[in-house]
Structure 1
Amino acid sequence: MIATFIPPEKLGTPSMSDSPWELLPTASNHAASLDWLYLALTIVCGISFVLVIGAMFYFMWKYKKRSDEDRTSPLTHNGRLEFAWSAIPAVFLMLFFIQGEIDFVKLSAPPADAIDISITAEKWKWTIEYPGRSAASTTEVLDGEIAPLLVVPKGQPVRLLMSSKDVIHSLYIPAFRVKKDVVPGRYAFVWFTAIEEGTFPLFCTEYCGDEHSSMLAVVKVVPPEDYEAEVRAATTLEQGAGETIEAFGEKVYKAMACNSCHNPDASVKVGPGFGGLFGKTESMTDGSSLTVDENYLRESIYQPNAKVVAGFTPQMPSFAGQINDEQMNALIAYIKSLK
C-alpha cells in the first residue's frame, strides 16, 4: 500500500492545454458528450444574457420619461410575447435536462466487463489497489516527488471503487470529466473508458484538512498490451541496482507518505521531524523516556500508538503489513542518515 504527499512548495497543476481558454483534453468516453452540454449551456446563457440586458437598456432609453406630460402606455400585457418568453426557455431547459439525464445514467452504469480498481482516500493520500495486487502505485512527478499512480488501459472500461478512512474526500479527473465524493462508511464508484494515451492529474476537490491541496495523484493511460507490465512495474517498491540503502529508504519515506506528517529536518509537522531523531532521548506521554534506536523506530512504524512522544496525539496509522523487512531496513537507514 503505497501513497504519498506533495509538499506545498512544489504544488502545481500540470498543463493540460495550450491556452486557459481551451477545453481540457477529451481523454475519456464521457468527455465529448459533457463538453457538448457545457458549451450548449454556455452559448444559450450568453445569448440570453445579451438579449435580456440589451432589451433592458433599449427600453430604458426608448421609454425614458422626458417630460411631466409623458404617460404610461395603456397596454397591460402582450399574451403572445409572454407565452414566447416562457415557452422558448422551457424548451431549452427540457433539452438540457434530457441530455443531462442521459449523461447521468451513462455515468452511473458501468459495463459488466469493467476492470475494478480500488481506491482508498485518507488525509492526505490516495491508496490504489489493483486486482490481484495489494500494493498501490508510485511515479515521479513535480520535481521528483513521488505521487500515487493510477494505471489504466486505453480503450477498456475501468470502474474505480472508492472508500474513505476518515473524512469526505472527492476524486476528480478533469481530463476524463469524472468526479465523485468519497464518503466514510460507504462505497462510491465512477467509471470511464480512457481514449487517449498519456498522463493526467487527479485531485481531491473536497476540503479535507490543511494539506487538502497536496492530495494529488497521476493517471497514466497505456496501451492494453502494456497494462499488466505497467501495473507490475508501478506496484513494485524495491531497491534498484546501484542504489544505496539510504536512497532507497528516502524513496520508501516518500512512497509511504511519511512526509505528509514528518519533515526530513528537525522541524515539527503533524509529528516529530526526522532530522537528528536517531539517538535522541524522547519523553513519552506516560512519563517514561527512551533513546530512539532501531527497535523504537520499527515499533513506532508498526505499532505507532504503543509509545507516543509527549506533546503529540496518537493519530498515526499502523503500517503493519504494508512495509516489508527490506523496506523497513532502508527506511530506518534513511532516518539514521538525517542530521
Structure 2
Amino acid sequence: MAIVWTVPRGISPTLLVAPLIKEFLAEGEGTLDARLSAVGTICASLEKQVGRTFTSISAASAAIFSGAAGAATVPDALRLAVMRTLSTEVIVRKPAPQPFSEKVGKRLGEYLFALRDPRNDQVFHVGHGTGNQVFASVFEALGELENLEGADGPAEANPAVTAAKISRIREIYDAGSAVEHYVLVRALGTSGTADIAVHAVVEALRISEVGGGLTNLAGDATDKDLRATRVEELALRYSADPAPELPTPSVVLHVPGSARAGATAEEIYELARQEWSAGAAVRAEAGIPVLVFADSIIRGAFRAQSWDVSTRNADGSMLWRWSGDVDEDLAAKYVGTEITPHNVGLKKWPVSGWVTRLTTARPGAAMPGPRKK
C-alpha cells in the first residue's frame, strides 16, 4: 500500500468540482476574483503535468508549484487542497503481463513494438525483438526478469535510455496502472527496410495521443495484420484452435467492434443486434444459434429468440434486429476459436457481414420454409 499523487487527463474540470477546491473558492482568503485567479494558475500548471505520477509530496509540489507562473501568489490552503485532491492510495500493484506462449512467439517472428502509458496514451518507447522481448523491460522494472523466458534480445546501447524507460515503467505501476504493449510490425523481412520504418512510425503515432493528425491514415488499409495490435489480442489470434463444426442451422455475423479489448458478452450482444437482412427461413428458426466474430476469432455466442422490423426500405425489403440470450454452452465450445470462410463453405466473407448456415449440404442457402419440429 502506498500514496501517490497523479495528474489525470481532464484535470481542470475535475479540479473545479473537487469538494476541497469548491470549499476554497467559497470560503478561502482574499476576494473571489483572487481565488479564481489562483485556481486558474494551478490548472494551467497541472495541464503541463498530465499523466505524471509522483511518489512523494515534495516531488509533486516542486513540479506543480515551483515552475508555475504566478505560483508565488497561490495560497497555502489551495496548495494543500490540490495535493489532497491528487493523492491516490494504491493498494495492489498491477501484475506483470502474461508472456507469449512458444507457439505465439514463433508465429510473430521478429517484430517492432511500442510501450504506451495508459495515463495519457503516450508511446514512450519503441524497440524490436523476438519471443517475449516486448515484455522484458516491464519484467526488469518490476524485478521479475528471472521469471520471463524467451526474452533474449538486443539490449539498449545507451544506459540513459534504459534508465529513463525503467523509471517511466515504475512510475506507471506505482500509480496503480499497467504498461500497454503493442506490436507495430511483425514477421520482419517481408518488405523493404524503408517501408518497414515508415510503417512502424505511422503505427506508433496512430496509437499515441498525437496520431489523429497523420495524413498517412487517409485511405488507410484495413488489413488486421498491418495494424498495431495489443499483445493480448495477438496472443488470442495466434494461439486459437480452429472452430469446431458449426451448428446447423446457425447465423454467423462479422461485427468488428466485438474485438474491442475487454468487451463483455452483453456489450457484444448489443453490437451484434444491428440491422440485418434476415430471411424468412432464419427468422422461423426459434432459438437459432448466432456466432459473432471479428478478426477471424469468434467473440460471442447467442441464441436469437425473436426478430423485429427495424427499417422498411422503399423497394419493400426490410431490415431486422434480433433479440435473444447468451448461450453458455455455445460460448464454451466456440468463443475464442478461429473461424474462416471455409467453415461456412465460402471463399471469402461477404461485405454485408451476414452469413447463414441452414444446411450442411449447402451453407448459406435459403430453405423453402420453417424446419419441421
Please report the TM-score for the alignment, with normalisation by the length of structure 2. 0.23
Return the structure number with greater relative CO, CA threshold 8 A, min gap 6. 1
Greater helix percent: which structure? 2
Larger radius of gyration: 1
Structure 1 length as normaliser, TM-score? 0.25
